[in-house]
Every structure is written in C-alpha cells, then in structure tokens.
Chain A
Amino acid sequence: MLRASIETQGEEVDLRGLTDGKAAGESSISGAAALVDFVEATLGGNTDEIAVARDLVRSELGSEALVDAAAVIGNFERMVRVADGTGIPLDAAVNVATEEIRSELGIDAFASEERKSEVATWQRLMARAIDPLAKIGLRWQGRRASR
C-alpha cells in the first residue's frame, strides 16, 4: 500500500523507514520522521515521549492530521492482531508482489513470516512482467488526482 501510494506521486520508493525508524528522515514523505516517532512513542507507552512526539506532529502537520494519525495507529494495532490471531496467510498477489521487499527490509525474520507461502517461479515471472504496467497505472491515478 505504501509503495503504491508513493508510486502515484512518481517518486523514488524508499521503504526503509518501515523497519528502521531512523531512516524515515530521508523519506520523501512529508513529516515522515515525526510520524514514525509518534508511532514508536505510542507503542512504547512512555507518556512523556508520546507527548513530545505528539507536539512534533501537531506543529509539522496540524491538529487534524495529528488526530487522524492517532486513529491510524489505533487501526493497525487492531489489524496486526487480527492477522496474527487468526493466522491468515498473505493473499497470493500480495505474497508475490512483496517477496523482494520483505527480504530487503528484514521482514522475513519476523516469527509470523512462517505463515507465508512459497512464490512459484511462474508467479515471479508474471509479477515482473506486470510491475511496469502497475507503475504506469498508479502514476496515471496520481496525475488524475492532482488535476
């Protein structure tokens, strides 16, 4: 989802901030470092650190964005537990499309990764063929949205 949303802007996709919070500062996404700090502080549970992170998001992105960011944190505190609690595998298309990224970002080391399915060679080849078309489609969606 993150990769797709960055693709719509036609920008370089750098997902390192997902698994390495310090790398978020180099992201092209506005306020990325503040948002990642807000996530880490909230999940860490230290109220002083949360307050500092909250003030930073508010000053960089505004009050409404702060509330929405807190809501998104809440959403994914739920969704990760739904996925892990029910043991669902990745959907086939996502499994194929994210194979390289999961390896690059070290997500393969997570305990829940044991639930992944192996990607067949034909699936990998098909994904490589479709990828350029998907990028064109996403950039078209981005240009259309900015009109």
Chain B
Amino acid sequence: MTVADVFGTLELCAVEVAISMSLDSAFQYAAQLEDPVRADLVESHRRSWARLAESGTWWTGPERIAIAAASRAAIDCALCRERKEALSPFSVTGAHDGVSGGGSEGLVPEAAIDAAHRIVTDASRLSGTWVEGLAEQGVSDAHYVELLSVVVSVRSIDAFHRAMGLPLEPLPEPTPGGCEPTRRRPPTAEKTDAFVAMLPSRKPPGEDADLFPGPAPYVIRAMSLVPDAVRWLKDLSGAHYLSMEAGQMFDFANGRGPLSRAQTELIAGRVSAVNECFY
C-alpha cells in the first residue's frame, strides 16, 4: 500500500515513510479472528487510522487524536448517562469522565470534548442552536464538521470491533512533523436547511469535483463543508456497506456479498431505530 493509495487527492507533506510503516501494523484481524475479514475492510480501517493521525483541514493530528480519545471515553461517562436520562440534554451540566484519555489535557477546547461526548451518546437530540453556540467556545462550524467526521469514523470502526468481540484498536500516534491544517472552506458552501453549511446538490467545482458527480442526497453532502470528511465517509462506507461509486446503492435486488440487500437494510434500519434516528 502506498501513501498515494491512502490519501488520493489529499495534500501530502514529509511524513510518507512514517505513515506507510504504521499502516501495515494496525488491524491485524487475521491473527485475532477465525472469521475471514475482507481485505478491503482491513485496508479501509488502516487508511482511517492514517487519516486520523494526520492534520486535517481544521484540527492538527494531535488534536484529532485527542477528540477520538474523548469520543471513546463517552461510552462510560457518568455525565453522559445522566444527560441521556434527562428531559432536556442541555439541562444537565458538569464534567465529562475520561477527558484526559489519550494525553489530551487542554489540547482542544472543552466544547470540543463535550461535542464528541454528545455525538456518541445522544446524537438524536443535538440542535442547530447548540451547534451555533459552539463557535463562541472556539469550535467553528467547520471545526465541528471535522470533529464529527473523526468521532463517527472511530465510532464505526469501534462498533465493528465490539460486534466481532475484538479489543479496540489503540489510537495511532500523531504523524511526526505533520502539516498545518489548511483551513480551506469551500467557497460554494452555504447554510440552508441543516445545522451546518454544506455544498449545493450539483456537482462541486474544481478540486472538490470528486465528492459527488451530480445531484446528491443530504447524507452525502452533510459534511461537505470539510471535503476530506466526505472522502473519509465514502471510503469507509464502500468497505462497510456499499460503494457510492459503483452504483451498488441503487441495486435493490443484490447484496454485495453473502448478505442479501434486504438483510443488509434490515441491519441498517434496526441500527437507526435503536439510535432513534429518523433519517
């Protein structure tokens, strides 16, 4: 696996050797499981860890890993449990457990830690007002979208591990000498009918043209304020579910492997319902 395979259109800096070395030692499923794990799944998870360790568009590598560590701590957080039981999740205040996990003390604003916890434990009750309020606490809308992409990517890989009875993969070390965040905001992104700005449905211009070929559903555009978040989403979705590029989404008669499409969608629907997500 080469670095170009991993990052595609992402800009690279002088960290290529370190990244490629760390990729091949993570996610050793063959040594842990008798059940056969597809090679594309392993590779997608390794690419995710490499992305996580690198600087993003708005957060540095160490900051992204601190956010990932906070999101893992949310599972056993007493404050999150108390909030989940409350009539309003915004009526309960306090400190989250495990904030220091991953050596993240003070590395990211408290609001970012709180956001990571809420996304993991009570996402269906987030609100636009709350997202707007984050900006006053050092987490802009673009920072928030990138934070969301880190949290959900780690969450999805961790869920696979939990389902298969595997220990969680240790979070990667930040890439040494990583790039500075580019802080690039797509010029055509606009806030319309979601909590955050996103690209319009038509094919994006210029360097974002690879994100989607034309009219795209909200869920593909949702994180397009940070284009690399969409690329990460497409990478993991192609391995975990169906490829957005290969037209598999619109083939309702066939599954991609041993599961039928109906079995796949039953799992999808039940996960959504248990999470109380109407989408």
Name A's B-contacting residues (CB within 8 A).
Answer: 1-2, 4-9, 15, 17-19, 21, 24, 27, 29-32, 35-36, 38-40, 42-43, 45, 47, 50-51, 54, 58, 61-91, 94, 102, 105, 107-108, 110-113, 115-116, 138, 141-142, 144-146
Contacts and interface: CB of A to CB of B under 8 A. Distances in A.
A101 B192 CA distance: 27
A50 B163 contact: yes
Interface residues on B, range: 35 or more
A67 B123 contact: no
Contact of A142 (B148, B156, B253, B270): B253
A6 B274 CA distance: 21
B270 A39 contact: yes
Interface in B217-231: 217-219, 221-223
B268 interface: yes
B61 to A, nearest CB: 21
Chain B facing A: main interface SS: helix
Nearest to A20: B273
Contacts of B267: 35, 38-39, 69, 72-73, 76
Contacts of B6: none
SS class of chain A's interface: helix, strand, loop or mixed?
helix
Contacts of B131: 87
Contacts, number: 277
Contacts of A138: 252-253
A24 B223 contact: no
A32 B263 CA distance: 7
Interface string B79-112: 0000000000000000000000000000000000
A130 B258 CA distance: 32
B169 interface: no
B159 A74 contact: yes
Interface in B224-279: 233, 236-237, 239-241, 251-254, 256-279
Given A30-B260, A65-B259, A142-B252, 8 more contacts: A18-B272, A24-B266, A64-B36, A70-B160, A72-B264, A80-B272, A87-B194, A112-B279
Given A39-B274, A87-B126, A67 B41 contact: yes
B219 A82 contact: yes
B37 interface: yes
A29 B262 contact: yes
B203 to A, nearest CB: 17
A50 B36 contact: no
